[in-house]
Chain A
Amino acid sequence: MTPPAANPDGRKPMIECRQVQKYYGDYHALRGIDLTIREGEFFSLLGPSGCGKTTLLRTIAGFEEIGSGVVLIDGRDMRDVPANARPTNMVFQSYAIFPHLTVAQNVGFGLRRDPRSAVEKARAVDEALEMVGLKGFGRRAAHALSGGQRQRVALARALILKPKVLLLDEPLSALDRKMREQMQVELIKLQRQVGITFVLVTHDQEEALVMSDRIAVMFEGEIAQLDGPEALYARPASRRVADFIGVMNFLPARILGETDRGVTVDAPGFGVVEVPMRNVSRANPGDAGPTVGFRPEAVTLTPVAGRGPERAVDRVSGGVIDEVVYYGDMTYYDVRMDGSARYDGIARPVRVSMRNLFGREVPDVGTRTRVVWSPGSLVLFR
């Protein structure tokens, strides 16, 4: 695991988890979570279902008891602090809009114990509704709202209390694709506007990459990697993380030597290459041996008769196009690279994605092609 830098930008820690453990009977749901989420950060917990991300979020919210370990919010120990007394508010996966109340009553639900006058509270509700783009919706019945509107009400209801942390449990999973993409952008804007720490739980890697400042990838109750989106995508800490986030090609490789700058490997199809040290990951549990990986868009196909590599660092291999999958804006090609079966006689086609440019022809299956790549776009799991 990449250790989170303690305080690179001077922001104070908002949520600190130290060795948080949680059992359900014999099931070990959280296996010692160490995590610091900074103030004003958009943080995501990403992982497949059952990885413990929701349990962790609910532990922070106070809906699950802290098994062992410590959870601090803004420096305060949360053990024995019930959910209603924590400085967190939550947007539920189902939104949990109270169906017997109006939109305004829903948004103002948490103001019941607020000492302000009714007029001031009503103004606060109006402001909150305006913030989420639901101005004038206050008198509507909650059960008549659309999915996107419910989500906005849930946001307004949580944000009106000005929590230190807003927890979002898969808030976009119930929306259709278009709406989801729109809400992603709106959530980012909203977070910048209010400056509150957002903690998002999601199983959708794209969503996490789009929205987060930092992402914790979780498998089986443990954090597998904690990094910013770019680092996570470009330099996954393990094959498993690489596989979960986006698409990655994996090829068996032989390690030939190691220097301070990098590790020299022999990978079928690529030949002898030095992978830069920052792209080398030692976390490769359970894998057969050293593996070289690269993203489909990290290499380029050019016609055999075409121009050569454009940059000095680029290298060229040859191959044959095995399969073409056309997606409109992009095309996926399965390419059998020359010499790829050199190790064990198994020819593993690699997947390459290319943006479709107008005027450029999509090559046919069986076409010979040149594969242009650079050592910096390869990662090594050893």
Chain B
Amino acid sequence: MRGGGLRAYAVLYLVFLYAPILLLPIFAFNAGTIIAFPLKGFTTDWFVQMWGNAALRKALANSLIIAFSSAVLATCLGIFAARASTRFSFAGKGAALGLIMLPLVMPEIIVSMSLLVVLLAIGVKLSVFTVILGHTLICMPYAVAIMTTAFSSLDKSLEEAAQDLGETKLSAFRLVILPLVMPGIISAMLMCFTVSLDEFIIAFFLAGNEPTLPTYIFSQLRFPKSIPVIMALGTILVLASIVLLGIAEYFRRRGVARTGAKDTGGFL
């Protein structure tokens, strides 16, 4: 087999990537309260404790609300930006899209601090809502990227054909473009949902007293007693992320297959 050395290296690299994550389930089911070897035996106590934890449930509820709202908002805004970027040319297009994509390379500390300063200055009370504002901003570039791929794999003449066959611009969009980019929309929403669910810094600074999952986890990391529960929670979060991304990838591929384009593989 060609590239045997490279393959071995790549596998080692994957082990390095996954090593920390593989520890999660090991210690989530470990009976010992300290995260250390040797293991002390099997238990599901931590999952039970996690379930009974009211603060955690509150954080989860907040996180789900935030993730869902930001995913919907960011994807809607992303559709507009991607449509403008793939279909129209206008003065200042590069600058406009640059600003929209900027949060992708901006350190989150800058984004969150500057937004916080403004929110405080105009007297907005920090809450779940302010986190949604921030998360929509940082999720938007992901949605734009995915939707741009979805739109640009479409033949422009499909839309014209629909108009030629009697549909208006709006109904052509609804009957042809929307069904064809639907897999992209679902995949963008899932990705934004995942990004928002995991996001810590903006949630940490913009949530006020409202906990989200990451800020709850952060607050608990100081207490060695809570660590096993966090490991259990982490296990579930990792599983949830993998499932969500699996679904997103499935829809992305279906979208590619449907438009008959060549699969170039992968996110981003």
Q: Are B155 and A161 in contact (CB under 8 A)?
A: no
A61 to B163, CA, bound (A): 10
A228 to B168, CA, bound (A): 37
B163 to chain A, nearest CB (A): 5
Residues of A within 8 A of B206 (CB): none
CB contacts under 8 Å to B, within A311-345, are none
Judged by a CB distance under 8 angstroms, whether A367 is at the interface is no
B7 to chain A, nearest CB (A): 35
Judged by a CB distance under 8 angstroms, whether B233 is at the interface is no
Residues of B within 8 A of A109 (CB): 162, 165, 175
Q: Are B157 and A96 in contact (CB under 8 A)?
A: yes
Q: Are A84 and B161 in contact (CB under 8 A)?
A: no
Judged by a CB distance under 8 angstroms, whether B180 is at the interface is yes
Given contacts A92-B160, A99-B259, A100-B258, are A112 and B166 in contact (CB under 8 A)?
yes
Pick the contact of B166: A84, A93, A96, A100 (CB < 8 A).
A84
Judged by a CB distance under 8 angstroms, whether A235 is at the interface is no
A113 to B175, CA, bound (A): 13
Pick the contact of A113: B155, B160, B166, B176 (CB < 8 A).
B166
Pick the contact of B164: A83, A94, A98 (CB < 8 A).
A83
A158 to B165, CA, bound (A): 7
Q: Are A82 and B258 in contact (CB under 8 A)?
A: no
Judged by a CB distance under 8 angstroms, whether A110 is at the interface is yes
Given contacts A83-B160, A96-B158, A99-B180, are A161 and B258 in contact (CB under 8 A)?
no
Residues of A within 8 A of B164 (CB): 61-63, 83-84, 88-90, 158
Q: Are A100 and B165 in contact (CB under 8 A)?
A: no
Given contacts A99-B259, A100-B180, are A161 and B166 in contact (CB under 8 A)?
yes
Number of interface residues of A (CB under 8 A): 25
Residues of B within 8 A of A85 (CB): 166
A83 to B176, CA, bound (A): 16
Task: Mark contacts of B142-186 with chain A using CB atoms, 8 A cut-off: 1 yes-contact digit, 0 otherwise.
Answer: 000000000000010110111111111000100110011000000
A90 to B160, CA, bound (A): 9
Q: Are A110 and B157 in contact (CB under 8 A)?
A: no
Q: Are B163 and A82 in contact (CB under 8 A)?
A: yes
Pick the contact of B179: A63, A89, A100 (CB < 8 A).
A100
Judged by a CB distance under 8 angstroms, whether A53 is at the interface is no
Pick the contact of B165: A82, A99, A161 (CB < 8 A).
A161
Given contacts A63-B160, A100-B179, are A157 and B165 in contact (CB under 8 A)?
yes
Judged by a CB distance under 8 angstroms, whether A143 is at the interface is yes
A96 to B176, CA, bound (A): 11
Residues of B within 8 A of A112 (CB): 166-167, 175
Q: Are B161 and A92 in contact (CB under 8 A)?
A: yes
Q: Which residue of B lies closest to A169 (CB)?
A: B157
Given contacts A84-B167, A109-B165, are A93 and B157 in contact (CB under 8 A)?
yes
A98 to B166, CA, bound (A): 15
A326 to B172, CA, bound (A): 53
A208 to B160, CA, bound (A): 25
Judged by a CB distance under 8 angstroms, whether B260 is at the interface is yes
Most buried by B among A84, A88, A157: A84
Residues of B within 8 A of A93 (CB): 157
A61 to B82, CA, bound (A): 27
CB contacts under 8 Å to A, within B67-96, are none
Q: Are B165 and A89 in contact (CB under 8 A)?
A: yes
CB contacts under 8 Å to B, within A59-74, are 61-63
B157 to chain A, nearest CB (A): 4
Pick the contact of B157: A84, A94, A113 (CB < 8 A).
A94
A161 to B163, CA, bound (A): 13
Q: Are B160 and A96 in contact (CB under 8 A)?
A: yes
Q: Are B163 and A98 in contact (CB under 8 A)?
A: no
Residues of A within 8 A of B175 (CB): 109, 112
Residues of B within 8 A of A100 (CB): 176, 179-180, 258
Q: Are A143 and B163 in contact (CB under 8 A)?
A: no
Residues of A within 8 A of B160 (CB): 61, 63, 83, 90, 92, 96
Q: Are B158 and A98 in contact (CB under 8 A)?
A: yes
A283 to B101, CA, bound (A): 56
A112 to B259, CA, bound (A): 23
Q: Are A82 and B166 in contact (CB under 8 A)?
A: no
A171 to B110, CA, bound (A): 54
Q: Are B161 and A143 in contact (CB under 8 A)?
A: no
Q: Are A94 and B155 in contact (CB under 8 A)?
A: yes
Pick the contact of A99: B162, B167, B168, B258 (CB < 8 A).
B258
Task: Mark contacts of A153-191 with chain B using CB atoms, 8 A cut-off: 1 yes-contact digit, 0 otherwise.
Answer: 000011001000000000000000000000000000000
B21 to chain A, nearest CB (A): 37
Residues of A within 8 A of B155 (CB): 94, 96
Task: Mark contacts of A98-110 with chain B using CB atoms, 8 A cut-off: 1 yes-contact digit, 0 otherwise.
Answer: 1110000000011
Residues of B within 8 A of A92 (CB): 157, 160-161
Residues of A within 8 A of B168 (CB): 82, 84
Residues of A within 8 A of B258 (CB): 99-100, 143
Q: List 8 A-B contacts (CB under 8 A).
A: A84-B165, A84-B166, A88-B164, A94-B157, A100-B180, A109-B175, A143-B258, A161-B165
Residues of A within 8 A of B (CB): 61-63, 82-85, 88-90, 92-94, 96, 98-100, 109-110, 112-113, 143, 157-158, 161
Q: Known contacts A63-B163, A88-B164; can you find 7 more A-B pairs with CB under 8 A?
A: A61-B160, A96-B157, A98-B158, A98-B176, A99-B180, A99-B259, A158-B164
Which 10 residue pairs spanning A and B have beta carbons closest together?
A: A110-B165, A96-B161, A96-B157, A92-B157, A83-B163, A143-B260, A90-B164, A84-B163, A96-B158, A84-B166
